[in-house]
């Protein structure tokens, strides 16, 4: 670990915690924050669909251009968590740390997000470290 550079760690490690950090800017800017290369609109939409946030983003009048307010105050806890998961999926980290990342989601949304994360693990050879209180979250 002493020989790793901070930039390299940021590139290879993604973190989604229970307390999601969003910036007072658009949903799109929050999604692409931390990406080394600007993702295409198709990549952003795919990540949003995988994280189960595409439908509610589309419901906003300004879509991806919707401003979220200070610390994401215009969004529910579950919406913020799904945006944070989509942001992490866009970066495609080798190690994904999820600390109660789905705690604000209902059971159906959690199952759908879990399915997307399972796909990421198996198809893209990622490692996921998961911290959760609900057994259903860690069962796989």
76-81: average pLDDT: 86
Question: Which residues are CB-neighbours of 88 under 8 A, at least 6 positions away?
Answer: 14, 15, 16, 96
The token pair at 67 is 């401003």
Residue 89 within a domain: yes
Backbone torsions φ then ψ of 4, nearest 5 degrees: -80, 140
Residue 1, pLDDT > 60, answer no
Residue 20 within a domain: yes
- List the CATH number of the domain containing 39: 3.40.50.300
Residue 111 within a domain: yes
Residue 75 within a domain: yes
Calculate what percentage of the chain has a pLDDT beyond 90.
34
In tens, the pLDDT along 38-63 reads 999 999 999 999 888 999 999 999 99
Range of the domain at 11: 6-138
Residue 43 within a domain: yes
pLDDT in the model for residue 74:
93
- Most confident stretch, 5-9, 21-25, 76-80, 112-116: 21-25
Distances (CA, A) of 120 to 18, 62, 93: 20, 29, 10
pLDDT in the model for residue 70:
92
pLDDT in the model for residue 58:
96
Number of domains in the chain: 1
Residue 1 within a domain: no
């Amino acid at each position: 670990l002493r020989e790793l550079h901070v930039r390299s760690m940021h590139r290879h490690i993604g973190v989604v915690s229970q307390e999601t950090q969003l910036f007072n800017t658009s949903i799109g800017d929050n999604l692409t924050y931390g990406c080394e290369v600007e993702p295409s609109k198709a990549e952003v939409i795919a990540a949003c669909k995988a994280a189960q946030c595409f439908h509610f983003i589309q419901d906003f009048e300004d879509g991806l251009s919707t401003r979220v307010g200070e610390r994401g105050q215009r969004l529910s806890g579950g919406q913020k968590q799904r945006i944070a998961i989509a942001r992490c999926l866009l970066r495609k980290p080798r190690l994904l740390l999820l600390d109660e990342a789905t705690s604000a989601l209902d059971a159906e949304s959690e199952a759908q997000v879990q399915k997307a994360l399972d796909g990421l693990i198996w198809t893209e050879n990622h490692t996921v470290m998961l911290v959760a209180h609900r057994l259903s979250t860690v069962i796989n």
